[in-house]
Amino acid sequence: MSRTRTRTALLAALALVGGATGTAMAAAPGDVGAAAVPCTVDYQVQNQWDTGFTASVTVTNHSTAKNAWSLKWSYAGNQQITSAWNAKVSQSGAAVTAANESYNGTLATGGSVSFGFNGTYSGTNAVPAAFTLDGVTCNVDDGGGGPTDPPDPDPTARVGNPYSGAKVYVNPEWSAKAAAEPGGSRISGQPTGVWLDRIAAINGVNGGMGLRDHLDEALEQKGADELVVQLVIYNLPGRDCAALASNGELGPTEIGRYKTEYIDPIAAILADPKYADLRIVTTVEIDSLPNLVTNTGSRPTATPQCDVMKANGNYVKGVGYALNKLGDVPNVYNYVDAGHHGWIGWDDNFGASANTFKEAATAEGATVNDVHGFITNTANYSALKEENFTINDAVNGTSVRQSKWVDWNRYVDELSFAQAFRSQLVSVGFDAGIGMLIDTSRNGWGGSARPTGPGALTSVDTYVDGGRYDRRIHVGNWCNQSGAGLGERPQAAPAAGIDAYVWMKPPGESDGASREIPNDEGKGFDRMCDPTYTGNARNNFNMSGALPDAPLSGHWFSAQFRQLMANAYPPLS
C-alpha cells in the first residue's frame, strides 16, 4: 500500500476570509484537458486563531514522476510562515517555496505528498490563488463533467495522510457518556477510536452499536466532506500476554478463529462499496508485537504466556493476516501499534522491535505496502514533549540517561521517540512515506502538579524529577494512572513525520479493574490496576499509581474521566 496515492476526492475551490478556516484548491479558469492538468494542490487551514494558523498542503503529481520537487505560491496578505514539517519551507516577502525533504523527494505519477506549517497573520488569512510545482501551474477539475474536463480521481485511491483535509468520526456512544459528565460537553465532540475487542463487537454488544452501525453513522457525519473512521483491531489469540487486565476471548492456539470469525468478517464489511468514500484507519493489535521482544526468554520481565506466543508465532501470523486482508480494501489505512518510548525506547528493544514489525508485515501474505504507518502511546500516558530537560543534558557530569526516571532510555518523550522510530522502521524496509500517529488522549499531565521549569540541580534525579511533566511513579506504570490529564486535542499533521495526534483510547474508559471482577468478557485481574500493589520487574517494584475503584477494562470510569478533564493540558476552557 503506497502512501503516495491520489486524493480520495477533490474539494471545491474555496477562499478563506476573516477568521474562517477551511480548504482550497488551486484552480485555473475554464475547462482544461486532462493533459493540461499537471498537478493539483489541496491547501487546508487546520486551525486558526487571532494571530496565527496551522495549515497542511497535499500536492498530487499528474505528470512525469519526480525525484525532487518544489512548490511555490504567494500570499495576498501579510502571512509569515514560522515553522514547517515534512518540507523545507522558505519565504521572501509574500513568496513561499516548499521543497522536499531527503525522505520524500520521490513523487510518482499519480502520487501525493503532504506537509504542514505554522504561520502568523493579521487581517485576512486568504488562501493563495495559485500554485506552481517545479515552475508549472497547478489546477483542478472544476466539477463540470464536460468532455474536456480531466477525469475525476479514483474515489477509493489512498492519500498520503488520511487525516489531511478530513473530519474524524465522533463515536455517539462515547460522546453521550462524556456529555453526561459535569463539564463533559467541552470534549464530547472529539473523535475517538472504536474498539473491536471481541468477535461480538462486530455486530454490537448488549444492544450497542456494531461495526456497520458505526460506518452508517460515519456516512451521516461525513456529508460532502472527507471523513476518517478510526477502528482498533484488538483480539489476537493469547492477547496481552504480559497483562491480565485486557486478556481476550481467544486462547493462544486459536489463530483459525481469529482469521475466520474476526478478521474475515471485519474485512468483508469494510469492503462493502457503500463505505468506499470513507477513509478507514485501522490500528492493528495494540500491545502485542513488542511483548515478543521485551517479555520473553531470559529477561526479568518475561512471562510464560509471552514465551508461548513467541514460540507458536500466532502474534506474528495474526498481525500479518490482518494487514493482508484489511490492506486489500482500497480505502483502509493500516497503522500497526508500536508501543511507546517507555517500552521500546531502550537500545536492546528499539531495533529488535522494528525487525519484529517487519517480520509480521511480511507474514501470511502481507507486505510492507500493507502498512500505512504506526501508532505509539495507545492507551498509555507518556508525555508528548518534555520541555524542561533533554536526553543530552547532564548535571554535575552525570547524564540525564543515568537518572532513575530515564534509566538509560534514549528518549524522554513520545514525540522524539515516534520520529526516531519512524526512521528506524524505514531503515528495515518500510516505505519512506510511512506516517506516525500518537495517542494523546491521556498524556497532558496538566493541573497544579505540572512543573513550570527544570528541577533543582542538586542531582540528576532532582533535575529530572522536578522538571518532568509525566508525573507517574515509574514509566512502566500503565493502569488508570493517578494525576493524568487529557493531552493535545486530535489534529492532523502536527509535526514532522506525524500524520496526526489522535484520541484512540476513549478518555474515561478504564484500563482494568482495581480488584477481581467475574465477567464473560475474557478480562482478568492485573495487580498493576490495584492501587495497593507494590509492583514487579516491569515497573522496578514501585507502587502501581493506579486509581481506586476502577471497573473492568473498557467500561466507563467516571472518576478517571473527571480527573482527565481537571488535569488537561492544554487546559479546557
Catalytic residues: 287, 511
Amino acid of residue 210:
G
**Residue type for position 445:** W
- What kind and span of H or E run contains 233? strand 226-233
Closest CA to 318 of 248, 234, 409: 234
* Cα 367 from chain centre: 21
Strands 194-196 and 226-233: parallel
Please state, in angstroms and rounded to a whole number, the distance separating the CA atoms of residues 407 and 411.
10
| Residue whose C-alpha is closest to residue 215's, from 231, 198, 197, 232 | 231
**CA 168 – CA 226 distance, rounded (Å):** 8
Bond preceding residue 490 cis, omega within 30 of 0: no
Q: Are 409 and 341 in contact (CB under 8 A)?
A: yes
Identify residue 457 by its one-letter amino acid code. L
Largest CA distance in the chain: 75
- SS3 for 293-329, per residue? HHCCCCCCCCCHHHHHHHHHCHHHHHHHHHHHHHHCC
Residue 27: which residues within 8 A CB-CB, separation 6 or more? 13, 139, 140, 142
Helix, strand or coil, per DSSP, at residue 468: coil
Q: Strand, coil or helix: what is 553?
A: coil
The residue ranges of DSSP E strands in 453-556, in sequence order, are 491-495, 498-502
What is the distance between the alpha carbons of residues 107 and 40, in angstroms, rounded to a whole number?
13
Residue whose C-alpha is closest to residue 286's, from 384, 174, 196, 352:
196
Stated length of the chain: 573
Number of helices followed by number of strands (H, E) in the chain: 12, 21
> What stretch of H or E contains 347?
helix 347-361
Give CA angle at 481 (475, 483), nearest 5°.
105
At residue 166, φ and ψ (nearest 5 deg) are -130, 150
Contact in structure between 413 and 341 (CB atoms under 8 Å): yes
**Amino acid found at 444:** G
DSSP 451: -
Cα separation, 126 vs 79, in Å, equals: 9
**DSSP-derived 3-state class of residue 214:** helix
| Torsion angle of C-alpha atoms 185, 191, 192, 196, degrees rounded to 10 | 120
431 touches 501 (CB < 8 A) = no
Local structure of residue 218 (DSSP, 8 states) = H
According to DSSP, residue 42 is labeled: E
